[in-house]
């Protein structure tokens, strides 16, 4: 959700000052490709459970170092073919020549997939610095332009309310986001954050920098606090003291951690809704229970299965692909 330059934030209040109920939010969900048969079962149970929320799109990550190229492709293709959902494939520059990226993009297009989340990517496990492939791309902006030159994909990119850790400055990072939008991306999805003020300030700065594309907040329900702290240190997300306080002493208490996680993420989204922001991208970690609860509190309930086109065919291995135009442009 994004405001144009100079627009004021619309608080969800009536003239009398009472809060009004916002309309149901628009949501999208991020999954990662499964590595084991058990994880695959878990993922498809999650997709089945979340599909009735009718997300705008669901995205599937691309493992660090390009390690899940085929698994990402297979998962995205299966979502496209066997559900009513609109899948988006994450794609990174790591370890790929332009020819390899072109080949993968053509496979997506021919399979009917029309949405790419274009990223520079993180280095493979064990390396600390991103090394561009000699025949590939150094930054996501180049990848975005390349994707657009191959076919008219919808493209989402990453944005960082707290600034990407390798950026020269917050301003340089915003310039980079603008380059990605100018190259053809229509949406930015943010790194997760816990302090809404940082996100709201980022929206203001982006608007001032002339960025008019939609910027969707990425929301992470924290089920594993210790792991979140480690990952946040790498990706530049700050951990507010209230979060540390809330999870203190819960290391061995998974049930309470889950309740706290749902509560924190719900409060975060409700506070954003009060600021007029009503689109959320959830990092699901391939689990549905918290997301279903959070979405319900935000006003979004699952649609009856009968109302979902094609969904009754979901998860059947012999489901034929939906008829969509598979042609590449001239």
Ligand X SMILES: Cc1cc2nc3c(=O)[nH]c(=O)nc-3n(C[C@H](O)[C@H](O)[C@H](O)COP(=O)(O)OP(=O)(O)OC[C@H]3O[C@@H](n4cnc5c(N)ncnc54)[C@H](O)[C@@H]3O)c2cc1C
Residue in the structure block whose two tokens are 């309740």: 259
Nearer to ligand X, 122 or 259 (CB): 122
Is residue 176 close enough to count as binding ligand X by CB under 6 A?
Answer: yes
Residues in region 289-328 near ligand X by CB under 6 A: none
Terminal alpha carbon distance of the chain: 34
**Element housing 105 (H / E):** helix 98-111
The residue from 77, 120, 258, 287 that contacts ligand X (CB under 6 A) is 120
Judged by DSSP in three states, 164 sits in coil
Cross-strand partners of 89: 60, 116
Q: Give the binding range for ligand X (CB under 6 A) out of 14-22, 173-181, 219-227, 237-245.
A: 173-181
Task: Tell me the residue ranges of DSSP E strands in the chain.
Answer: 26-31, 57-60, 87-92, 115-119, 154-159, 187-192, 214-219, 279-283
Residues in region 130-149 near ligand X by CB under 6 A: 139-140
CA gap 153, 89 in Å, rounded:
11
Is residue 62 close enough to count as binding ligand X by CB under 6 A?
Answer: yes
Q: Give the binding range for ligand X (CB under 6 A) out of 33-41, 171-179, 200-208, 253-261.
A: 171-179
Q: Are strands 279-283 and 26-31 parallel, antiparallel or unpaired?
A: parallel
Q: Give the binding range for ligand X (CB under 6 A) out of 96-104, 163-171, 265-273, 290-298.
A: 163-171
Judged by DSSP in three states, 191 sits in strand
Is residue 113 close enough to count as binding ligand X by CB under 6 A?
Answer: no
Tokens of residue 328, six digits? 């590449």
Q: Catalytic pick from 13, 30, 70, 162?
A: 30
Judged by DSSP in three states, 314 sits in coil
Judged by DSSP in three states, 299 sits in coil
The residue from 43, 76, 89, 119 that contacts ligand X (CB under 6 A) is 119
Cα–chain center distance at 105: 19
The residue from 41, 97, 131, 166 that contacts ligand X (CB under 6 A) is 166
Nearer to ligand X, 32 or 44 (CB): 32
Question: What is the total count of residues that contact ligand X (CB under 6 A)?
Answer: 23
Residues in region 21-60 near ligand X by CB under 6 A: none
User: CB-side exposure of 76: number of CA atoms within 13 Å?
Assistant: 30
The residue from 90, 114, 115, 287 that contacts ligand X (CB under 6 A) is 90
Is residue 167 close enough to count as binding ligand X by CB under 6 A?
Answer: yes
Q: Is 30 a catalytic residue?
A: yes
The residue from 114, 115, 164, 257 that contacts ligand X (CB under 6 A) is 164
Q: Nearest Cα to 4, choosing from 208, 285, 153?
A: 208
Residues annotated catalytic, as ranges: 30
Q: Which residues bind ligand X (CB under 6 A)?
A: 61-62, 64, 90, 92, 117, 119-122, 139-140, 158, 164, 166-167, 172-173, 176, 180, 189, 191, 218
């Amino acid at each position: 959700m994004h405001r144009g330059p100079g627009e004021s934030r619309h608080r969800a209040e009536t003239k009398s000052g009472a809060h009004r109920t916002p309309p149901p939010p628009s949501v999208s969900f991020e999954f990662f490709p499964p590595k084991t048969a058990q994880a695959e079962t878990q993922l498809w149970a999650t997709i089945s459970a979340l599909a009735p929320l009718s997300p705008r799109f669901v995205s599937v990550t691309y493992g660090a170092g390009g390690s899940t190229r085929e698994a990402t492709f297979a998962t995205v293709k299966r979502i496209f073919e066997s559900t009513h959902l609109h899948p988006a494939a994450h794609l990174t520059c790591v370890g790929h020549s332009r020819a390899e990226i072109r080949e993968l993009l053509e496979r997506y297009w021919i399979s009917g997939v029309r949405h790419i989340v274009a990223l520079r990517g993180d280095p493979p496990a064990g390396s600390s610095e991103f090394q561009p492939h000699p025949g590939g791309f150094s930054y996501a902006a180049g990848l975005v332009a390349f994707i657009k030159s191959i076919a008219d994909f919808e493209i989402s990119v990453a944005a960082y309310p707290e600034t990407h850790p390798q950026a020269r400055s917050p301003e340089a990072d915003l310039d980079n986001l603008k380059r990605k939008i100018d190259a053809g991306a229509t949406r930015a999805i943010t790194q997760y954050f816990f302090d809404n003020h940082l996100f709201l300030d980022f929206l203001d700065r982006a608007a001032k920098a002339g960025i008019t594309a939609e910027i969707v907040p990425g929301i992470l329900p924290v089920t594993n606090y210790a792991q979140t702290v480690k990952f946040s240190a790498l990706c530049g997300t700050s951990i507010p003291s209230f979060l540390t306080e809330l999870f203190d002493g819960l290391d061995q208490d998974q049930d309470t951690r889950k309740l706290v996680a749902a509560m924190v993420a719900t409060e975060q989204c409700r506070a954003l809704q009060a600021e007029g922001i009503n689109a959320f991208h959830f990092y699901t970690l391939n689990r549905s229970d918290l997301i279903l609860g959070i979405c319900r509190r935000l006003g979004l309930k699952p649609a009856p299965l009968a109302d979902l086109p094609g969904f009754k065919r979901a998860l059947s291995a012999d489901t034929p692909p939906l008829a969509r135009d598979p042609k590449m442009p001239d």
